[in-house]
Amino acid sequence: MSFLLEPLQYAFMLRGLAAAVLVGIVCAVVGTYVVLRGMAFFGDALAHTILPGVALGYLVSGGARDVLFWWALGTAVLAALGIGAISKNSQVKEDTAIGIIFAGMFALGIALISTVRSYAVDLSHFLFGDVLGVSSTDLWVTAAFGALVLLVIFAFYKEFLTLSFDPILAVTLRLPVGLLNNLLLGLIAVTIAVSLQTVGVALMVAMLVTPAATASLLTHRLPVMMGLAAVFASVAGVAGLYLSYYASIASGAAIVLTATAVFIAVFTGKRIYSR
Amino acid sequence: MYPHSHHLDDQPILDVRKLSVRYNGHFALEEISFHLHAGERVAVVGPNGAGKSTLFKVVAGVLQPTSGQVNIFGSMPRGHVCIGYVPQRSQVDWSFPVNVADVVMMGRIAKLGPLNWPRKRDWEFVRRALDTVELSDLAKRQIGQLSGGQQQRMFIARALAQEAELMLMDEPLTGLDAPSQEGLLSLLDQLQRQDVTVMVATHDLEQAAEHFDRIMLLNHQLIGFGPPEEVLQAEKLLLAYGGRLQLGEHGPMLIDECCPPD
Buried b (16+ CB within 10 A) or exposed e, A222-251: beebbbbbbbbbbbbbbbbbbbbbeeeebb
Average pLDDT for consecutive 10-residue bins of chain A (275 residues)?
A: 85 93 96 95 93 90 81 91 75 83 91 81 84 89 96 96 95 93 94 91 93 95 96 96 93 94 96 84
What pLDDT score was predicted for residue B91? 87
Closest CA to B103 of B141, B151, B158: B158
- Whether residue A172 and residue B99 make contact (CB cut-off 8 A), yes or no, is no
Query: What residues of chain B lie within 8 A of the CB of A220, using their CB?
Result: 97-99, 142, 144
B243 close contact with A: CB closer than 8 A: no
> Is residue A274 situated within a structural domain?
no
Q: How many CB atoms lie within 10 A of CB A139?
A: 17
Residues in chain A: 275
Q: Which domain holds residue A241?
A: 2-269
Is residue A275 included in any domain, yes or no? no
What value, to the nearest 5°, has the Cα angle with vertex B45 and ends B42 and B51? 105
What is the tally of structural domains in chain A? 1
Phi-psi category of A129—alpha, beta or left, where left has phi over 0 and alpha has psi -120 to 50?
A: left
B175-231: per-residue pLDDT in tens? 889 899 999 999 998 898 888 999 999 988 888 998 998 999 999 999 999 999 998
The predicted structure's pLDDT at residue B240: 86
A216 — contact with chain B (CB < 8 Å)?
A: yes
Average pLDDT over residues B60-77: 90
Specify the 3-state DSSP secondary structure of B169: strand
Q: Across chain B, what does the average pLDDT equal?
A: 87
Closest by CA position to B182, among listed B158, B210, B215, B205 = B210
Which amino acid, one-letter code, is at B226? G
Judged by CB atoms closer than 8 Å, whether chains meet at B87 and A172 is answered as no
Query: How many residue contacts between A and B have a Cβ separation below 8 Å?
Result: 82
Q: How many CB atoms lie within 10 A of CB B82?
A: 22
CA distance A166 to A182: 17
The answer, for B112 touching chain A at a CB cutoff of 8 Å, is yes
**CB contact A218 to B (< 8 Å):** no
**pLDDT tens digit string along B148-173?**
999 999 999 999 999 999 999 999 99
pLDDT value at residue A229: 98
Given a cut of 50, is residue B260 above it in pLDDT?
no
Q: What percent of chain A has pLDDT over 90?
A: 66
Through-space distance between the first and last CA atoms of chain A, rounded to whole angstroms:
38
Query: Using the beta-carbon criterion (under 8 Å), do B97 and A221 form an inter-chain contact?
Result: yes
> Which residue of chain B is at minimal alpha-carbon distance from A219?
B97
**Cβ neighbours of B99 in A, within 8 Å:** 220-221
Look at B106 and A162 and tell me if their CB atoms are within 8 Å. Answer: yes
Residue A169 to residue B96, Cβ atoms within 8 A: no
b/e sequence A34-54, b meaning 16+ C-beta within 10 Å:
bbbbebbbbbbbbbbbbbbbb
The answer to whether the CB of B220 falls within 8 A of the CB of B242 is no
Q: Chain B residue closest to A177 (CA)? A: B1
C-alpha distances out from residue B141 to A6, A101, B25, B96, B255, Å: 47, 42, 45, 12, 38
A110 lies in some domain: yes
B97:A225 CB<8 A:
yes
Residue B2, pLDDT > 80, answer: no
Under an 8 A CB cutoff, do B85 and A169 touch? Answer: yes
- pLDDT bucket at B129, cuts 50 / 70 / 90: very high
Q: What is the largest CA-CA distance in chain B?
A: 61
**Residue B248 pLDDT more than 60?**
no
Mean pLDDT lowest among A90-99, A106-115, B107-116, B121-130: A90-99
CB contact under 8 A, A220 and B93: no
List the CATH number of the domain containing A233: 1.10.3470.10
What does the pLDDT read at residue B261?
Answer: 44
Does B262 score more than 70 pLDDT? no
Residue B3: band (very low, low, confident or very high) from pLDDT cuts 50, 70, 90: very low
pLDDT computed for residue A97 by the predictor: 84
Question: pLDDT tens for residues B217-240?
Answer: 999 999 999 999 998 888 888 888
Q: Evaluate whether B142 touches B196 at the Cβ level (below 8 Å).
A: no
Query: What pLDDT was estimated at residue A239?
Result: 96
Whether A174 is covered by a domain: the verdict is yes
pLDDT for position A89: 67
Q: Do B109 and A222 touch (CB under 8 A)?
A: no
Phi and psi (nearest 5°) for A245?
A: -65, -50
Beta-ladder partners of B32:
B19
The length of chain B in residues reads 262
- pLDDT score, position B233: 86
Using a CB-CB cut-off of 8 Å, the residues of chain A touching B138 are none
Look at B98 and A171 and tell me if their CB atoms are within 8 Å. Answer: no
- pLDDT score recorded for residue B251: 56
- The residue of A29, A34, A163, A174 whose CB has the most chain B CBs within 10 angstroms, and thus the best one to mutate to test that interface, is A174
Residues of A whose CB is below 8 A from B161: none
**Whole-number pLDDT of residue A81:** 86
Quick check: A174 and B62 CB within 8 A?
A: no
B62 closest CB neighbour out of A168, A222, A225: A168
- The CATH superfamily holding the domain B1-82+165-178+195-262 is P-loop containing nucleotide triphosphate hydrolases (3.40.50.300)
Q: Report d(CA A10, CA A12) in Å as an integer.
A: 5
Contacts of B102 in chain A (CB under 8 A): 161, 221-222
Enter the pTM of the model: 0.89
Nearest to A166 among B2, B87, B105 (CB): B87
Question: What stretch(es) of chain B map to CATH 3.40.50.300?
Answer: 1-82+165-178+195-262
